[in-house]
């Protein structure tokens, strides 16, 4: 179309229809011609347009919270299994001693979390999976922080840290998947990159929230609040379960063809791909 070879383009479409077992004349009549129209390119500001602003802001909040929660949990677990801190002792040469067995077991939870999310994300949906994962992850980390102040029982602490990291992995995986599904083709790369940048910003601050001389009770409380915020943002994201990734424009998404009885022209209406609302015919037409 961009080269002005409209007839060849129509024949390609008719051939594709035939290959898929569809009568070409039912979609593209003999007297139908194609007309090329320029599609407006996208930029970063499109993410803050009226169409995308709400989803973008909640996605940014989810990514910031997920990064702080994910990396903060890893750092908190490592701090808890610092044996010198658990035994209230200091090594002579100042080298910290960690319970590497417990840390390894808790880290292996990410494999379990990945397997579980692969098996359940399509049945539970993207939004419920994220909300559940972040709520459980934050609650378990908060519980772990409290328990670590009253006992040094390695089995209990390992079990709590194991499931905390499993839920963190589940939430982060679904957030990555749903972000690409929420945005349409023209803004998908920009939207995903901006959300990733927000996540990296959150990851930058996580050591300052978990490290230092702050008590584990304070760390657990802060991390619980962050997880609640993350779950709140994820709860307001559009559900993309069962939806295909559309090849769309900034204003219109999934194409649904309407042709008139006489076969003189074909117009299009579009599904916005987010809330299921069907938009009226746009200026893009086949005449």
Q: Which pLDDT does position 90 carry in this prediction? A: 52
Does residue 28 register a pLDDT over 80? Answer: no
- The alpha-helical segments, DSSP class H, found in the chain are 6-19, 24-27, 53-80, 83-86, 100-107, 109-124, 126-150, 154-182, 185-210, 216-235
Predicted confidence at residue 14, as pLDDT, reads 82
Q: What is the DSSP letter of 256?
A: E
Q: Is 157 exposed, middle or buried (0-12, 13-18, 19+ CB in 10 A)?
A: buried
- Mean pLDDT to the nearest integer, 147-159: 91
- pLDDT score for 37: 55
pLDDT at residue 259 above 50?
no
Asked if the model's pLDDT at residue 247 lies above 90, the reply is no
Structure tokens at 29: 């009549």
Greater model confidence, 234 or 266: 234
Which tokens hold the place of 109? 């939870």
Mean pLDDT confidence for 156-169:
95
CATH code 3.40.120.10 for 53-235:
no
What digits encode the pLDDT tens for the residues 223-236?
Answer: 999 999 999 999 99
> Are 161 and 102 a contacting pair, CB within 8 Å?
yes
pLDDT greater than 50 at residue 273: no
Contact between residue 119 and residue 128 where contact means Cβ atoms under 8 Å apart = no
DSSP string, 70-81: HHHHHHHHHHHT
The 10s digit of each residue's pLDDT in 85-138 is: 545 545 555 566 778 898 999 999 999 999 999 999 999 999 999 999 999 999
Band of residue 70 on the pLDDT scale cut at 50, 70, 90: very high
DSSP-derived pairing of the beta strands 266-271 and 254-259: antiparallel
User: What average pLDDT does range 47-55 have in this prediction?
Assistant: 90
Band of residue 13 on the pLDDT scale cut at 50, 70, 90: confident
pLDDT at residue 223, as a whole number: 95
**Quick one: pLDDT at residue 225?**
96
pLDDT at residue 186, rounded to an integer? 83
Tell me what the pLDDT averaged over the chain comes to.
Answer: 80
pLDDT, one tens digit per residue, over 192-213 is 999 999 999 999 999 988 877 8
18 pLDDT above the threshold of 90: no
């Amino acid at each position: 179309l961009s080269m002005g070879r409209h007839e060849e383009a129509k024949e390609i479409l008719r051939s594709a229809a035939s290959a898929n077992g569809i009568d070409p004349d039912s979609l593209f009549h003999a007297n139908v011609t194609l007309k090329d129209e320029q599609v407006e390119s996208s930029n970063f500001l499109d993410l803050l347009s009226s169409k995308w602003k709400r989803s973008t802001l909640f996605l940014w909040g989810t990514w910031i919270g997920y990064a702080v929660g994910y990396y903060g949990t890893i750092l908190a677990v490592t701090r808890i299994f610092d044996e010198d801190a658990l035994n209230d002792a200091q090594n002579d040469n100042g080298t910290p001693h960690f319970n590497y067995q417990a840390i390894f077991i808790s880290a292996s939870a990410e494999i379990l979390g990945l397997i579980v999310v692969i098996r359940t994300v399509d049945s539970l949906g993207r939004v419920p999976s994220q909300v559940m994962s972040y709520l459980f992850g934050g609650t378990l980390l908060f519980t772990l922080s409290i328990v670590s102040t009253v006992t040094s029982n390695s089995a209990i602490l390992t079990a709590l840290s194991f499931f905390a990291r499993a839920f963190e992995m589940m939430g982060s995986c679904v957030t990555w998947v749903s972000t690409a599904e929420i945005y349409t083709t023209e803004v998908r790369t920009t939207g995903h990159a901006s959300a990733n940048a927000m996540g990296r910003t959150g990851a930058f601050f996580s050591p300052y929230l978990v490290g230092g001389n702050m008590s584990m009770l304070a760390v657990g409380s802060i991390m619980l609040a962050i997880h609640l915020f993350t779950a709140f943002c994820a709860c307001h994201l559009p559900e993309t379960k069962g939806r295909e990734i559309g090849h769309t424009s900034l204003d219109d998404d999934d194409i649904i063809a309407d042709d008139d009885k006489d076969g003189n022209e074909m117009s299009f209406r579009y599904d916005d791909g987010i809330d299921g609302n069907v938009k009226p015919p746009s200026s893009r037409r086949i005449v």
